[in-house]
Amino acid sequence: MRPFPDFRSKDFLLAHMREIMDFYHPICLNREHGGYHNEYRDDGFITDRKTQHLVSTTRFIFNYATASVLFQRPDYAEAAAHGVRYLDEVHRDSEHGGYFWVMHGREAADTTKHCYGHAFVLLAYAAAMKAGIPGMGARISDTWGLLENRFWEPERELYKDEISRDWQKISPYRGQNANMHMTEAMLAAYEATGEIRYLDRAETLARRICVELAATAQGVVWEHYRADWSIDWDYNKDDPKHLFRPYGYLPGHMTEWTKLLLILERYRPQDWILPKAILLYETALANSADLEFGGMHYTYGPDGRLYDPDKYHWVHCETLAAAAALAGRTGQERYWQDYDRLWRYSWRHLIDHEYGCWFRILSPEGVKQSDIKSPSGKTDYHPFGACYEILRVLGEAK
């Protein structure tokens, strides 16, 4: 077993981010259709050269744009611009507006308009603006207008989740996940533009999900709601491993909210933010920690029972960022101890020291579930983004 590095050091975090970029760059650049190749085997072999998911396109843009600034790499900036062109020219629905969910080459395979995907569109444009790619201010503003006109429910102060291509059929499903990532995107848009409306919206979303709706869900974040934003306690209970909408409480989303709340607090201090951030974090760890094998389980129900005991890479990444954020905010060493413990588990089990990047899912015992390291949507955005946020906590990145 390789010795543990200093997980709290700038040099380690930057080196890990470089390794993530090296796994994908430049082979991810799709020279035939534009955009990026989405699916990779453990060794980096591309297993699907046609499918391009909106979440992959936008997350690759985020990674490349952020890395271009951090490492002063013009080739990364061009790779981000390459993705922006595909997003603008191919994912964008020129007839009805909005962005297609899945492409096959340059043809739409799934034309559904998902709020979750549009949150990442906004995040991608914000990251691209920070990287100095021209025209992104207008793209951010246009996306805000689209979201206001098509997804925003002013009477609920939350975003709808899923709409048909022509905007005529609105799914009755409502979810916190899209609104959580919209909070992330609004914070990024505020950082990129300085426009207060994005910060205002981030605060509104955080308050609605983490305070008002949480008050009806044992004080923490529940995932699934009906059209009137009443809790749906049974949604996907018969499909607890659903890729985008698993049943139950997700500890990883609670710690992701911890991270986002503490970012919000930097710009908009509120008395409720730190206590709520701590509550979400502590609840997540109390209900997910695997005391036998280490790491964190995936989901649990209102009765406290585990519904998916597997170990997902992104849960550990977001919790690392949350632990660092709480350590930086409170000065309490116990959060750094959580941080080191999770890194050690990840270093032993989740990180591929042969080829690079993170395995996606492990069994409770730590056995990987597939030789597909990166399916559509992964892009190792979570470990890359977590390291970036930790660097910001340490004062080593802006």
Supply the pLDDT for residue 1.
63
CB 236, CB 295: distance < 8 Å: no
**Which of 224, 253, 313, 316 is the catalytic position?**
253
Distance from C-alpha of 68 to C-alpha of 135, rounded to nearest angstrom: 17
Catalytic residue among 16, 91, 349, 382: 382
Nearest to 273 by CA among 264, 281, 282: 264
- 0.75 surpassed by pTM: yes
Q: Is 25 a catalytic residue?
A: no
Per-residue pLDDT at 69: 98
Domain coordinates in residue numbering, the chain: 10-393
According to DSSP, residue 3 is labeled P
Query: For position 242, what pLDDT does the model report?
Result: 87
Measured in degrees and rounded to the nearest 5, phi and psi for residue 224 equal -120, 140
- Sequence letter at residue 74: P
Q: pLDDT tens for the chain, 398 residues: list them.
A: 678 999 999 999 999 999 999 999 999 999 999 999 999 999 999 999 999 999 999 999 999 999 999 999 999 999 999 999 999 999 999 999 999 999 999 999 999 999 999 999 999 999 999 999 999 999 999 999 999 999 999 999 999 999 999 999 999 999 999 999 999 999 999 999 999 999 999 999 999 999 999 999 999 999 999 999 999 999 999 998 888 899 999 999 999 999 999 999 999 999 999 999 999 999 999 999 999 999 999 999 999 999 999 999 999 999 999 999 999 999 999 999 999 999 999 999 999 999 999 999 999 999 999 999 999 999 999 999 999 999 999 999 98
> And the tokens for 139?
């793209």
pLDDT value, residue 244: 82
The residues, any chain, with a CB within 8 Å of residue 395's CB and separated by 6 or more, are none
Is 382 a residue of the active site? yes
What is the per-residue burial (b if ≥16 Cβ within 10 Å, else e) of 199-219?
A: bebbbebbbbbbeebbeebee
Write phi, then psi, for 305 (nearest 5 degrees): -80, 140
For 10-393, CATH number out of 1.50.10.10, 2.40.50.140, 3.30.420.40, 1.10.10.10 equals: 1.50.10.10
Let me know: does 122 contact 130? Beta carbons within 8 Å.
no
